Structure 1
Amino acid sequence: MVDPSNCFSREYQLSRFDPANKWDIIIIGGGATGIGAAVDASSRGYSVLLLESHDFGKGTSSRSTKLIHGGVRYLQQFQVGMVMESLRERGRLLQNAPQLVHELEFVIPCRSVWERFYYGTGLKLYDLLAIGSKAQSSGQVSAMELCKKFGNMKRDRFAGGVRYSDAQFDDARLVIELARSAAIHGACLLNHAPVLSLVHNGAGKTVGVVFKDRES
């Protein structure tokens, strides 16, 4: 049985690797996408080997906006399906990973009553699409409240604003938590192990990889 407290250590992961093993799935790249695929596959009972050339989550996954958002800007393009799907995923993360994901409030200053109405209407639709979510609903902000929140704003230049909530997360911690989950489900994950080449059989089908362990 896998020991959750130790299964993610590199020593343990190396001890599980055997060049003679036949893996169901080999994943190249240990970012959010690769590790997410490892969690999904290993939890379904597949034997998984994941190889990352640097630290887990070092590449694109470390250059995110740190936001978990529903894509409010996509409402302007009428991409309602995308917004609904994103909001569902935001809700799941807020519910399932409160230690990693927290609510974050945004305020949009408005220079006219029309702007407040325009943004406020769009954000009410955003609230409707996120029904059942833990995130706070949008609302109006008076000019006085706006100036209290942002002391350097001049009250006579704004007609108030609107506020809404999305979510923020620690991308590095999320990747590590996913990697730990994959390890608990039996995946073998090695960082600092760049893939040097692919191995092909006589029919030209990829059947394996050659990689280098930079740490050992």
Structure 2
Amino acid sequence: MSPLVEPGFTRESRVRNLERLRHESFDVLILGGGINGAGIARDLVMRGSKVALVEQRHFASGTSGKNSQLIHGGLRYLKQLEFRLVRESLRERATLLKLAPHLVTPQPFLIPLYGWARRWFYGTGLWMYDMLAGSGNIGRHRILSRTEVEKIEPGLAREGLTHGAVFFDCQIHSARFVLENIWDAARAGAAVANYARAERQGEQVTVTDAISGESFSVRAEKLVDSTGAWANEERLRLVRGSHVVVPRLNSSENAIAYFEKSGRIIFVIPWGSSRQLSLVGTTDVDHDGTPDDVRISAEEREYLLRIVRMLFPEAKDIQPISTFSSLRPLVRSHTRSATRTSREHRIWMAADGVVHVAGGKYTTYRAMSEEAANLISAVPSTTAHSPLGGNTQERIDALFSSVAQLAAQYRITPEEAALTVRHYGVQTARLLDSLSQQPGAGLSRLECAQIAFAVEHEMAEKLADLMFVSTYWGYERRWTEQTVAPFAAEMGRQLGWKEQRVSDEILSMPR
């Protein structure tokens, strides 16, 4: 699928899509604009189905945008003997590398091994990981001596360090990846709308536009519930995963993967627009509250910082720049441990004909989407061979090869040009063409262009949509009214907000 001149994912198209939802009939209505809903919408519309999708907030504003930012096979699941899950995840990792080479990129991981027995244990596990990846392997693991580990990461704790290992998985901008799926579905004809809350009573579905307050009924032959933690399903176990963002700890470009004795894995990942930060996570804690109130606990925060201080002794005084948390809607099992609860998914059609999607991993979203779509359409899926938005490897390679030329043409730095290619792929020229000669106060020309792109082409309606979905700027700086004000002012200028609305948006930002 190649990008169209006029994308179907704009501010104007949201209004048109709501009118379509009000007046037209659809083959399928999908509830939920996270990665699963986005993937199912893309799959079905590419099969020729007439598809609508509604999301009560902004796309990717929940779990799908607030995770460890990885596409991975799940090395730790080998310890739980979940070979099928790991094999499927590794297969999908290879597929996503081909479908979105700008957003999904190989990432080396360094495992520091403390204790002689761990070399053999993890060496065996990594060998199995490579074997299960098969032809989709992106790099074979290596066992390192203590000296090699110290050379790669001199800041790591040395007491008890005996060996290390390097293996490979992938990094992703998970929120933008969801937007790409939604964008593709919209360009192919799906009617998509954010800030549209759906309520179901029997066979009738009522959608309320949170912007205008208007409500109306939607007609669809089939309904898909991919609302995740909001599904109100008794068979779901809501497990909270929290992260802290800290100043860069990694000396090398390797992420650190630290395995606790409990089987939990903590990542310290180079992160941020210019890789100036480290993303640390994640936790596994049962969540007792509502899906609308998810935040890191004091215990989780201290737990992650304790791991950081143990791994990097010189970081004993480090404090988070930001934190974020989300819920994993896992399928309930008999295990008491949240960490050991399986990440296997379940998809079923209920007696009332509604298709439900539960559990699973972000990495396997495409396969899950295909499985769900198969319950609705007999037309074969084509998503495994259709690059997102036309972002083929050849086109992305050509864009990265032209970074210096782009920088000179648009008078930006090579680093800014590379960042644009990495986040926007074949839409790079569209974004750069909107560069202003007079950026807003306190902002760069590129930042202003990104704000314009989020508003015009990504249905960003609120400041949080810009800061935590279209970009991760909200996580990359310590939150104060002063740091956020320039972004709010520029977004407000483009959307015609009054001064009070700008202030309200700043105050409503998650802290």
TM-score by length of 2: 0.39
CA distance in 1, matches of 2:100, 2:31: 26
Query: Contact between 1:10 and 1:190, CA under 8 Å: does it hold in 2?
Result: no
The aligned residue for residue 24 of structure 2 is 21
The aligned residue for residue 210 of structure 1 is 207
Q: What is the CA distance between 1:4 and its match in structure 2?
A: 4.8
CA distance in 2, matches of 1:46, 1:96: 22
Q: Which amino acid aligns with 1:135?
A: I
> Equivalent pairs: percent with the same residue?
35
Q: What is the CA distance between 1:155 and its match in structure 2?
A: 5.2
The aligned residue for residue 98 of structure 1 is 101
The aligned residue for residue 39 of structure 1 is 42
Which of residues 70, 89, 107 is equivalent to 2:110?
107
Query: Contact between 2:7 and 2:187, CA under 8 Å: does it hold in 1?
Result: no
Q: What is the CA distance between 1:125 and its match in structure 2?
A: 0.8
Query: Contact between 2:87 and 2:132, CA under 8 Å: does it hold in 1?
Result: yes
Query: Contact between 1:53 and 1:191, CA under 8 Å: does it hold in 2?
Result: yes
Q: What is the CA distance between 1:111 and its match in structure 2?
A: 2.8
Q: How many equivalent residue pairs?
A: 209
CA distance in 2, matches of 1:4, 1:130: 38
Query: Contact between 2:14 and 2:193, CA under 8 Å: does it hold in 1?
Result: yes
Q: What is the CA distance between 1:132 and its match in structure 2?
A: 1.0
Query: Contact between 2:106 and 2:169, CA under 8 Å: does it hold in 1?
Result: yes
The aligned residue for residue 12 of structure 2 is 11
CA 215–123 in structure 1, closer or farther in 2 if over 3 Å, else same = farther
Which of residues 77, 84, 97 is equivalent to 2:87?
84
CA distance in 1, matches of 2:41, 2:146: 49
Query: Contact between 1:91 and 1:134, CA under 8 Å: does it hold in 2?
Result: yes
Instruction: Look up the SS of the partner of 1:24 in the other structure.
Output: strand
Superposed counterparts of 1:111-150, under 5 Å: 111-150=114-153
CA distance in 2, matches of 1:210, 1:81: 39
Computed over aligned residues only, the root mean square deviation of the Cα atoms, in angstroms, reads: 2.1
The aligned residue for residue 193 of structure 2 is 190
Query: Contact between 1:27 and 1:48, CA under 8 Å: does it hold in 2?
Result: yes
The higher-RCO structure (CA 8 Å, 6+ apart) is: 1
CA distance in 1, matches of 2:157, 2:206: 62
Q: What is the CA distance between 1:214 and its match in structure 2?
A: 0.6
Superposed counterparts of 1:174-189, under 5 Å: 174-189=177-192
Which structure 2 residue ranges, 5 or more long, are not aligned? 214-511
Instruction: Look up the SS of the partner of 2:52 in the other structure.
Output: strand
CA distance in 2, matches of 1:122, 1:155: 23
Q: What is the CA distance between 1:113 and its match in structure 2?
A: 3.5
CA distance in 2, matches of 1:15, 1:3: 18
Instruction: Look up the SS of the partner of 2:79 in the other structure.
Output: helix
CA 71–13 in structure 1, closer or farther in 2 if over 3 Å, else same = same
TM-score by length of 1: 0.88
Q: Which amino acid aligns with 1:170?
A: H
CA distance in 2, matches of 1:185, 1:154: 52
Query: Contact between 1:95 and 1:134, CA under 8 Å: does it hold in 2?
Result: no
Q: Deviations over 1:161-185 (max 9, x none)?
A: 1111111110111011001110122
Which of residues 52, 55, 62 is equivalent to 2:55?
52
